[in-house]
Structure 1
Amino acid sequence: MHLEMRDGYMLDDPEFIAWQQGKRPNPADRSSWWGGWHDAVRDAVARGVVVRRARIVSEPVSDYVRYEYDGTFTNIAAGELVRWLPRRKVTDLALPGTDFWVFDDAQALFHHFTGDGQLDEDGREYTDDPARVKLCADAFEAVWQRAIPHEEYRPR
């Protein structure tokens, strides 16, 4: 489970800058966008792992979120399930203060970003604490239940 809650990440990423200049990924040219992350997800899904990603987004969406939306077909091609939830629909949910991953309901990875969306130099925090892992898993499930599948979501 991966929950993303920011409206922008690493705005100096060359791929994002190229997207801002009009470059769009070509779904038909798999070799131009398929990479190691896609292999890892594909292999996990082949083993029976369900990989889910939910994104909480402000609307109207930021340029970065629109960039993510345009590239989400790559996540789906690898086997991820992706959903989107407008931020205004989470006001009654208790959420951890930062993005996270949950692995096998046993470990959580928190990502700590700087104000401008860069991963902080000590930005990865792992925990096996059952209470913290459960907090994240429960928060993710609450978001997932409300979120809109990628195929149905239309950013505004």
Structure 2
Amino acid sequence: MESISEGEFQELLRTGFKREAAHLETREAYGTAIELPYMAKWLNGEPDDLAWLDDWCATLREHVAAGRSVKRARIVSEPLCDYQRWSHAIAQPMVDAGEDIRWVPRHALGSALVTANDFYLLDDAIAVFLTYTGDGMSVDRLVSTDPDDLRRCRAAFDAVWPLTVPHGVYQPV
């Protein structure tokens, strides 16, 4: 696997697939430098116009217009932690822009096997594994084109997806 920069990763999300980006999230909380100030505002009950999501939403609209799909499955424990409650509260603009965000309670996974790391699977041709510190800060982005990695990612995503609940239906517990 090869480590890539945040900029290279963002470019892959913009131009690195022709059909589908499948994203599996497995952590309870994240601590990205971009998100933390906005989550803090939310925790304090302060308003947020979500303008910081505009670039990602524009990218999503471009993908949808070109016939590409972007799917995200979030595995969560219930009751939701603050991070996941906040994630649910801010997801609608991304859904409106075309990202198919779905939620699966961890207890519903049963015997489904998933990977330990979050990943993006782009057209079943590139896997980007996202690694984090214990407190949710991003550490690295590791790219693989190894057929075994791609097959395992597809199997994990396909095992989780039928168990998911669409964002507009999922009621946070």
**TM-score when normalising by structure 1:** 0.90
C-alpha contact 1:2 1:99 (8 A) present in aligned 2: yes
Count of aligned residue pairs for this structure pair: 150
Percent identity over paired residues:
38
1:85 is matched with which residue? Answer: 104
Q: Secondary structure at the match of 2:121?
A: strand
1:22 is matched with which residue? Answer: 45
Structure 2 unpaired stretches of 5+: 1-21
Q: Deviations over 1:53-86 (max 9, x none)?
A: 0100000000000000001102112110111000
1:109–1:62 distance in 2 versus 1, CA, 3 Å: same
1:133 is matched with which residue? Answer: 150
C-alpha contact 2:113 2:159 (8 A) present in aligned 1: no
Runs (4+) of structure 1 moved beyond 4 Å? Answer: none
Q: CA RMSD in A?
A: 1.5
2:31 is matched with which residue? Answer: 10
Inter-partner Cα distance in structure 2 for 1:100 and 1:34: 20
Structure 1 unpaired stretches of 5+: none
**TM-score when normalising by structure 2:** 0.82
C-alpha contact 2:32 2:138 (8 A) present in aligned 1: no
Inter-partner Cα distance in structure 1 for 2:135 and 2:104: 22
One-letter code of the match for 2:61?
A: R
Shift of 1:42: 1.1
